[in-house]
Structure 1
Amino acid sequence: MSDLNSLWQPARAGDLRLPHRLAMAPMTRGRSTADGVPTALNAEYYAQRASNAIVITEGTQPSADGQGYLLTPGIHSAEQVAGWREVTDAVHAADGRVVVQLMHVGRIAHPDNTPHGRQPVAPSAVRPAGTMFTASGPTGMPAPRALSTEEVAATVDDHRRAAANAVAAGADGVEIHGANGYLIHQFLSDNANERTDRYGGSVENRIRFAVEVATAVADEIGAGRTGVRLSPGNPYNDVREDDPHTLYPTLVRALAPLDLAYLHLVHAGDEPLLDTLRSLWPGALVLNRAGADLATRAQDITDGRADIVSVGAMALANPDLVDRIRSGSPLNSADPTTFYSGGATGYTDYPTRTV
Structure 2
Amino acid sequence: MASNSTSVSLLTPYKMGSFELSHRVVMPPMTRKRSYNNTPQSHAIEYYAQRTTKGGFLISESTSASDISNGSPNMPGIWTEDQAEAWKPIVDSVHGKGGVFFCQLWHPGRLSDSSLNNFLIAWNAANKKKKFIETEMAAKSSPVPLLTPYKMGSFELSHRVVMPPMTRNRSYNNTPQPHAIEYYAQRATKGGFIISESTSASDISNGSPNMPGIWTKDQTEAWKPIVDSVHGKGGVFFCQLWHPGRLSDSTLNNFIMFWKAVPDDGEYFKPTPKQLKANELPLIVNNFRIAARNAIEAGFDGVEINSANSYIIDQFLNDQVNDRTDEYGGSIENRCRLALEIIGAVVEEIGADRVGIKLSLFSEVYGKKDSNPEFLSTYLASELTKLGVLYLHVFEPKDEPRCLKSIRSAFEGTLIASGGYNKTDGDEAITESYADLVSFGRLFLANPDLPKRFEANAPLNKHDRSTFYKTDPVVGYTDYPSLEIAC
TM score, norm. by length of structure 2? 0.66
Q: How far apart, in 2, do the equivalents of 1:139 and 1:161 lie? A: 28
2:180 to 42, 46, 64: 42
The residue correspondences of 1:334-349 to structure 2 (distance < 5 A) are 334-341=463-470, 342-349=472-479
Q: How far apart, in 2, do the equivalents of 1:60 and 1:198 lie? A: 28
Say whether the 8 Å CA contact 1:178–1:230 is kept in structure 2: yes
Cα gap change, 1:213/1:129 in structure 2, threshold over 3 Å: closer, same or farther?
Answer: closer
Is 1:199 aligned to 2:328, yes or no?
A: yes
Say whether the 8 Å CA contact 1:27–1:59 is kept in structure 2: yes
Aligned partner of 1:281 in structure 2 is 411
Say whether the 8 Å CA contact 2:321–2:365 is kept in structure 1: no
Partner amino acid, structure 2, of 1:286: I
Q: How far apart, in 1, do the equivalents of 2:334 and 2:233 lie? A: 43
Is 1:144 aligned to 2:144, yes or no?
A: no
1:136 is displaced (CA, Å) by 6.9
Q: How far apart, in 1, do the equivalents of 2:350 and 2:446 lie? A: 32
Cα gap change, 1:128/1:100 in structure 2, threshold over 3 Å: closer, same or farther?
Answer: closer
Partner amino acid, structure 2, of 1:162: A
Q: How far apart, in 1, do the equivalents of 2:264 and 2:320 lie? A: 29
Partner amino acid, structure 2, of 1:353: L
Which has the greater radius of gyration? 2
Cα gap change, 1:121/1:189 in structure 2, threshold over 3 Å: closer, same or farther?
Answer: farther
Say whether the 8 Å CA contact 2:201–2:288 is kept in structure 1: yes
Aligned partner of 1:57 in structure 2 is 196
1:328 is displaced (CA, Å) by 2.1
Structure with more of its chain in helix, by fraction? 1
Q: How far apart, in 1, do the equivalents of 2:454 and 2:443 lie? A: 10
Q: How far apart, in 1, do the equivalents of 2:482 and 2:388 lie? A: 38
Aligned partner of 1:134 in structure 2 is 262
Partner amino acid, structure 1, of 2:153: G
Which residues of structure 2 form unaligned runs of 5+? Answer: 1-137
Is 1:84 aligned to 2:223, yes or no?
A: yes
Say whether the 8 Å CA contact 2:257–2:311 is kept in structure 1: no
Q: How far apart, in 2, do the equivalents of 1:293 and 1:81 lie? A: 34
Q: How far apart, in 1, do the equivalents of 2:302 and 2:427 lie? A: 25
**Alignment deviations for residues 122-157 of structure 1 (CA, whole Å, 9 cap, x no partner):** 9x6756899855247646423223222121111111
Aligned partner of 2:304 in structure 1 is 175
Say whether the 8 Å CA contact 1:182–1:237 is kept in structure 2: no
User: Tell me, what secondary structure is at the counterpart of 1:176?
Assistant: strand
**Alignment deviations for residues 67-123 of structure 1 (CA, whole Å, 9 cap, x no partner):** 55340000100110011112101111122111000011237xxxxxxxxxxx3699x
Is 1:15 aligned to 2:144, yes or no?
A: no
Which shows bigger deviation, 65-74 or 95-104?
65-74
The residue correspondences of 1:274-353 to structure 2 (distance < 5 A) are 274-288=404-418, 290-341=419-470, 342-353=472-483
Q: How far apart, in 2, do the equivalents of 1:201 and 1:195 lie? A: 7
Q: How far apart, in 2, do the equivalents of 1:260 and 1:57 lie? A: 18
Q: How far apart, in 1, do the equivalents of 2:248 and 2:241 lie? A: 17
Say whether the 8 Å CA contact 1:26–1:57 is kept in structure 2: yes
Aligned partner of 2:244 in structure 1 is 105
Q: How far apart, in 1, do the equivalents of 2:347 and 2:376 lie? A: 22
Cα gap change, 1:4/1:286 in structure 2, threshold over 3 Å: closer, same or farther?
Answer: farther
Aligned partner of 1:94 in structure 2 is 233
Aligned partner of 1:240 in structure 2 is 369
Partner amino acid, structure 1, of 2:473: G
Say whether the 8 Å CA contact 1:24–1:311 is kept in structure 2: yes
User: Tell me, what secondary structure is at the counterpart of 1:354?
Assistant: strand
Q: How far apart, in 2, do the equivalents of 1:161 and 1:189 lie? A: 26
Aligned partner of 1:112 in structure 2 is none
Say whether the 8 Å CA contact 1:14–1:223 is kept in structure 2: no
Q: How far apart, in 2, do the equivalents of 1:99 and 1:165 lie? A: 12
1:255 is displaced (CA, Å) by 1.0
Cα gap change, 1:258/1:130 in structure 2, threshold over 3 Å: closer, same or farther?
Answer: closer
1:273 is displaced (CA, Å) by 4.0
User: Tell me, what secondary structure is at the counterpart of 1:145?
Assistant: coil
Aligned partner of 2:145 in structure 1 is 6
Q: How far apart, in 2, do the equivalents of 1:30 and 1:237 lie? A: 22
Aligned partner of 2:167 in structure 1 is 28
1:240 is displaced (CA, Å) by 3.1
Is 1:154 aligned to 2:283, yes or no?
A: yes
TM score, norm. by length of structure 1? 0.89
Say whether the 8 Å CA contact 1:187–1:207 is kept in structure 2: yes
Cα gap change, 1:130/1:204 in structure 2, threshold over 3 Å: closer, same or farther?
Answer: closer
Aligned partner of 1:113 in structure 2 is none
The residue correspondences of 1:260-271 to structure 2 (distance < 5 A) are 260-268=389-397, 269-270=399-400
Q: How far apart, in 1, do the equivalents of 2:155 and 2:179 lie? A: 26
The residue correspondences of 1:60-71 to structure 2 (distance < 5 A) are 60-66=199-205, 69-71=208-210
